[in-house]
Amino acid sequence: MPGIRTAPAVAALTAAVLALTACGGTEPPADPKSTTAGPSAAAQPTPSDPAAPTASSGAETTVPQALSFDARTIDGENFAGSSLAGKPAVLWFWAAWCSRCRAVADQVAAVQRDNAGRVNVIGVAGLGSGDEAMRSFAKQTGIERFPNLADDDGQVWRRFEVTSQEQYVLLDSAGTVVHSGPLSQQDLRKRVAGLS
């Protein structure tokens, strides 16, 4: 029927829009408004649901709606967003062909090393990168030490309303998005240090 969008058409349109947001300059915009917006209420945690799954980290932790997703890593392993519940998290959205992503990858890896055990750092690769390109990027840049999701279908990108690469979503230990957008590496370190 005319006017009805099919899932493949919507996916193609989303991919085209994301591909048009090309990887640009070396520093993200300095506009503070662009770095504090969060996703819509759909990605925000919802009140506790007794039937909600919990993370297995000793104590029972309610999984917020934002972390109720399943994905696959670039190595083909299953990944449950619920495994991030109860601890602050940094989701770094990247593409294998993005020169800006490549330029900051070692700094993101350093943030992960410096905060291991306190903050989860997860890479979310997408934008048509392809499995082999994602694995190669991770190996070449040293980010293979933390989980990286293969999100070519854009499920996680859409969940957190990310529309271009080299962006960050920071969540506190309750699963509330406290930042969504680009960050300089200095600002990333400051914000991660303040996560609780």
Classify 186 in phi/psi space as left (phi over 0), alpha (psi -120 to 50) or beta.
alpha
Identify any residues that bridge with 120 across adjacent strands, giving them in sequence order: 89
Which residue in this structure is represented by tokens 């271009």? 164
pLDDT tens, position by position, for the chain (196 residues)? 444 444 444 344 344 434 434 454 433 333 333 333 344 333 333 333 333 333 444 456 688 888 999 999 999 999 999 999 999 999 999 999 999 999 999 999 999 999 999 999 999 998 776 788 999 999 999 999 999 999 988 999 999 999 888 999 999 999 999 999 999 999 999 999 999 8
